[in-house]
Structure 1
Amino acid sequence: MGFGVFIHRTDSIYDDSPAERYQFPGQYLSRVQACVGDWIIYYEPRKIVATRGYFAVAKVQQVIRDPGAPSMYLALIEPGSYLDFANPVPFSDAGGVVERGVLNEQGQISGRAQSAVRPISPADFNHIISLGLDLSEPVLPRVGEPISPVGVQEEQAPMEFEQSRERVSVITSRVVRDRVFRQVVLRAYDQRCAITGLRLINGGGRAEVAAAHIRPVEVNGPDIVSNGIALSGTAHWMFDRGLISLGDDLQILISRQANDQDSIRAFINKTGRAHPPQRTLERPHPHFLQWHREHCFKQ
């Protein structure tokens, strides 16, 4: 087992779904197999417009041949392990290249940085995770509210592997994952309720919206922004109870079982469609919306 970096592009030609699977050709088989049972970091190349850099972490569960493409393989992601970074990490910062393992003996970036799949050292893994999951500045904290980090900042430790175990405990913490998910989703929606279109900030300076999972965590809904939606309290209650849902085009659907449909129509966004994130990749994925319509929405 070992840590790895998987390159994923938003315009990928491969059949990738980062929270579920990663498709790759046979030339990378041994490298991917070395990551089975361990964690990988997703990276988007610098040449991509508005690149996210290192943008998420996930655990590889197993590797299988792709039944739909015999020459390809699939790295299956352990359900519930994927987590978007609260802060996407650039390839380099003021201190230089973040992933030091891509440098050669002369300190120059080597061809290794172009590899779609590559191993990453515990030290580099720890450093990127600490940057990506730094929640010392939460989204719209309450005025006067003390800021308490979640414990992923850099610290001294006798061994990198010891730090790695601590990093993994942070990644798998439900408390941490909920905080990261909230920050990622609220940032995508500009702290605005997707159903009403309202951006309400209370007297304490905090957004009055929650980050809701479209497919809940309890039924293997991943902590990925495309499985999230920003909702105010009433909208959240109606969404969870199936009184409203969304079509793939983000049309707001109202259940015929709702007692007061006219009031709901007056409550929702006047366009009849949910307010979407600006970035296409952050919008609710049809796969998760279909699940909500089939398992939650009261037709």
Structure 2
Amino acid sequence: MDWLERTATLRQWTKGGARAPHKPLLFLYALSRFQQDADGELIYSAVEEELKRLLAEYGPPNKTTPAYPFHHLASDGVWEVRTHDGLGSPGSGVRELRATGAAGRLAPELRTALRREPSLLGRMARVLLDLHFPPSLHGELCEAIGLELEPAETGRPSSARRSRDRRMRELVLTAYEYQCAFCGYDGRIGAVPVGLEAAHVRWWAFGGPDDVDNGLCLCSLHHKLFDKGVLGVGDGHRILVSQRFVGHSPAAREHVIALAGRPLIGPQPGVHPVATHHRSWHTSQVFHGTPRPGSDLPRARPKEASHTRSQLSPRTPTG
């Protein structure tokens, strides 16, 4: 049985590019728990709150319940559910799962395969991460669920092979003149920019193309906050800041809250800005909550002339 192929083809609700990472999150969580205790099981009532937290942090903005993937993942052949009455899920209702003492774990055949070939777990986890989450979130998601992966653990089934365009980073950074589109940060060591990244607006994992009009040059901090749904890009290419974000320090106010309503810095003339359909996808599928009211204060462009930056040709590989 090709477990990598099965991992890559989980049946999910899809409509108009909507995110539905419920099954992948539960599957990653189950792989992590297997890594810690190969014979253990996940009692729904005991893990419900933790799964809720993961869905709230790494799932789409709309409210959801972990009962849905807990029940439905069994249909993909990688998961099983037992109750007081034996094998089989009582349904996708929270009350039923709690009342029947429902417990889930990886399917017996998969547990056998993972014991026989320990490296398979890491390769399956990589498939789930690559297909459903941007690279900027992989490390912290693994840390959040307690999953330990070796750096060399890679590999995807043929159906998951879609090559990234390695030129995108340089094209996007050049388009935005090597400065963060949100804050103007433009640090470099010699001719090499540091702390600047090419962010996909519509995630690559969800069909986002490696095109400049789907990219933003962002500093590492704002890239992470953009992928977490704290920041977004609204009408008029103005910065959105979620009302759910809370920060009382001067740094949080200056580097995040004060961005609300400010226009993006760049791209340079002649370059297409972020396409409306990519912005709309990010706003509906990633951005959390309601935007904060924008500031009426004008946003000054950094004083340095940008023509010297545009002559740089960094050789840093795409992250």
The structure whose Rg is larger is 2
Q: Normalized per residue, which structure has more strand?
A: 1
Do these two structures clear the TM 0.5 threshold for a shared fold by scoring above it? no
Q: Normalized per residue, which structure has more helix?
A: 2
TM class, shorter-chain normalised? Answer: 0.3 to 0.5
